């Protein structure tokens, strides 16, 4: 939750002490922001179309002066870890896997995701 000072935004007035809650789940499932191909895995959607217009649509570390101080360090650690894993193993979905995204706290698969992992 965020605390705001008196002022107005659009058609609603905000008073001292009012709280605003940003429902991040609504951003994730918004077809107006992400386009009609909302659920299929499409990493290209983040290349230019969304990030240029909505740079903070995906914000796992927060944004602004209260964002996570360790964001850059964590991202470097993750990139190194992913590079090590991907260079030593191959991954594929189990043949009977059926993708059904479900909106809970975050978008997640409704069913378990079984992966076939093979050492290279």
The DSSP call for residue 42 is -
22 labeled part of a ligand binding site: no
Which SS3 state, helix, strand or coil, does residue 88 take?
Answer: helix
Q: What are phi and psi of 50, to 5 degrees?
A: -90, -45
Question: Cα dist. 103→26, 41, 51 in Å?
Answer: 9, 15, 22
CA angle 22, 25, 109 (to 5 degrees): 160
Binding site residue list for heme: 68
The annotated binding site is made up of: 68
């Amino acid at each position: 939750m965020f605390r705001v000072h008196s002022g107005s935004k659009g058609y609603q007035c905000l008073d001292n002490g009012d709280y605003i809650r940003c429902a991040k789940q609504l951003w994730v499932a918004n077809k107006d922001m992400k386009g009609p191909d909302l659920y299929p895995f499409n990493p290209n959607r983040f290349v230019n179309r969304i990030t240029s217009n909505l740079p903070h649509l995906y914000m796992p570390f927060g944004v602004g002066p209260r964002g996570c101080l360790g964001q850059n360090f964590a991202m470097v650690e993750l990139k190194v870890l992913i590079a090590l894993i991907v260079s030593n193993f191959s991954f594929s979905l189990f043949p009977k896997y059926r993708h059904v995204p479900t909106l809970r706290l975050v978008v997640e698969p409704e069913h378990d995701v079984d992966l076939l992992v093979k050492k290279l």
